Amino acid sequence: MIRNDSAIWCISLLGLTCLLPFAPAVAADMETNTYQLTDQQTVLLLQRTGRYDEAEARCKQMLQLYPDNLEYKRLLAGIEVAKHDPHSSMALRESLETIIIPEVNFRGAGVAGVIDFLQAESQKVSGADTPINFVWQAPENFKAAKITMNLRSVPLADVLKYVTESAGLRYRVDPHAVVIYQAPPESSSSNVKSP
């Protein structure tokens, strides 16, 4: 099994970035590289990573202990809004998993053209009024990268994974768009084999 340390580092950085507004309240033990979050920070982190049910349960648990705490009441209200927000990244992620593209058949097609096809096809298949937004954040030369694939009845998320990986790209799901970006270079030192 191969573990990618740079991926772990990126995930850790993302988690800490969510907590920057609360940085003074995070207790850190620099010798062990561990951080202890407050209950409010934990709820906020769960919410920002789309784990709404866990965030809600934790917040309700804290409200049982501190029923007059306005911060927990505010956090709980924010979780409810995020859970039902049609533009949350979780809603878009669900769409990518549930939209089944009937057929993808390309031979030597440019990545940009394939993404345009997927945008149009996903709107047609889902019957949505507006297409899924795709944002290109990779260098322009990647748009011409050639893709060859033949797939049938595959979720849009899987097609995006195959297309982006074939071109040396990645994608992430933001609340309002699917962002296409350049994959970070892999170094041989970042791959560690575990027993």
Span of 30-34, 77-81, 135-139 with lowest mean pLDDT: 30-34
Residue 170 domain-assigned (yes or no) = yes
One domain, residues 67 and 143: no
How is 56-114 classified by DSSP, letter by letter?
Answer: HHHHHHHHHH-TT-HHHHHHHHHHHHHHT-TTSHHHHHHHHHHPEEEEEEEEEEEHHHH
One domain, residues 134 and 162: yes
Residue 96 domain-assigned (yes or no) = yes
Residue 191 domain-assigned (yes or no) = no
**What is the rounded distance in angstroms from the CA atom of residue 10 to the CA atom of residue 80?**
28
> Which of 57, 84, 111 finishes a domain?
84
What residues make up the domain containing 168? Answer: 90-182
Output the domain CATH number for residue 170: 3.55.50.10
Question: Residue 67, exposed/middle/buried by CB under 10 A (0-12, 13-18, 19+)?
Answer: exposed
Per residue in 102-144, pLDDT (tens digit) is 999 999 999 999 999 999 999 998 888 888 999 999 999 999 9
The chain-wide mean pLDDT, for the chain, equals 78
Overall pTM > 0.75: no
Residue 171 domain-assigned (yes or no) = yes
Dihedral class, residue 70 (left if φ above 0, else alpha if ψ from -120 to 50, else beta):
alpha
* Three-class DSSP category at 26: coil
One domain, residues 111 and 159: yes
**What is the rounded distance in angstroms from the CA atom of residue 66 to the CA atom of residue 84?**
26
Please count the structural domains in the chain.
2
One domain, residues 165 and 123: yes
Residue of 185 and 74 predicted with greater confidence: 74
> Which of 84, 106, 125 finishes a domain?
84
One domain, residues 80 and 95: no
One domain, residues 100 and 22: no
* Residue 27 CB neighbour total at 10 angstroms: 9
* Residue 58 CB neighbour total at 10 angstroms: 21
> Which of 35, 65, 84 finishes a domain?
84
One domain, residues 96 and 51: no
One domain, residues 108 and 170: yes
One domain, residues 95 and 79: no
**What is the rounded distance in angstroms from the CA atom of residue 166 to the CA atom of residue 112?**
13
